[in-house]
Each structure stands twice: as structure tokens, then as C-alpha cells.
Amino acid sequence: MRLVKIEENIIWHKCMNCGLLQHNTHIRCLKCRKGDFEIIEASGTCKLLTYTILNAPPAEFRDKASYALGVVEFENGVKGLGQITTQNSLQTGMTLKPIYRKICENLDGKEVYAYVFEPV
């Protein structure tokens, strides 16, 4: 396999007991400690919550001098972390759309796919 796919669907968990929405890596609800969840998938566009410009990218991104990394929130409350397709004119609160595409070749030479976010 020459591909690495990161988070092909952005899926969070909603607690069936208290309704807390949280990342799907948690085994128990961070608020009430119960363990039954409804699966909530990101959909539609999202808003930029915060971002930073990485001027010393990790080795996998050796083809780039810098890139923008942002945290976004979808309309249903699911949040995601990913690269933004531009570093220009970024503003918190702006609308972005997710695009699933190749983001780099890792150090083993495999193509890595993940969501990136593009201003609408």
C-alpha cells in the first residue's frame, strides 16, 4: 500500500447521556464518564476558529517553506485540525470547505491523504 489515509471521515462522538460532543478517541464522556455515544460526522462548510503559520514544517512537508494550520468548526459542532490551502487573507470566523487530498509524501515515500481546508 502506497497510501496513508488520515481521518477519511471526520467523526466525533455525542454522549447519549449528557449530549457532550467530543473527539472519537475518548473511551468515556469527558463530562459524565458514561460510554454510550452517537456518531456525528462533519458535514458542509466550517468556520475557522484559530490558525497559525508553520515556518519550520516537519520533514514530511520538506517541499514547503511554510504552511497554515487551522482549527475549524462545522455547523454541527464537530471540530477538525488541518492545513489551510492558503496563508493569505486568513481571518478567524471565515468560511472554509473541506477537501480530501494528498498532503505530502511521508519519509517512507508513501502518499499521505488528509483533509485540508479552503476558503469559500
In the numeric block, the cell 480530501 is attached to 100
Segment interacting with Zn ion, rule: CB under 5 A, options 2-10, 20-28, 82-90, 94-102? 20-28
d(CA 41, CA 74): 9
- Any idea of the CA torsion for 115, 105, 89, 75, to the nearest 10 degrees? 10
- Residue 70 beta carbon to Zn ion: minimum distance, rounded to whole angstroms: 28
Q: Which of 20, 71, 90, 112 binds Zn ion (CB under 5 A)?
A: 20
Segment interacting with Zn ion, rule: CB under 5 A, options 11-19, 38-46, 54-62, 106-114? 11-19
Return the CA Rg of the chain.
16
Which residue, 32 or 99, has its beta carbon nearer to Zn ion? 32
Which residue, 18 or 53, has its beta carbon nearer to Zn ion? 18
d(CA 26, CA 59): 29
Grid coordinates in use for 120? Answer: 469559500
- In the region spanning residues 23 to 62, those forming contacts with Zn ion, defined by CB under 5 A, are 29, 31-32
**Where along the sequence are the contacts to Zn ion (CB under 5 A)?**
15, 17-18, 20, 29, 31-32
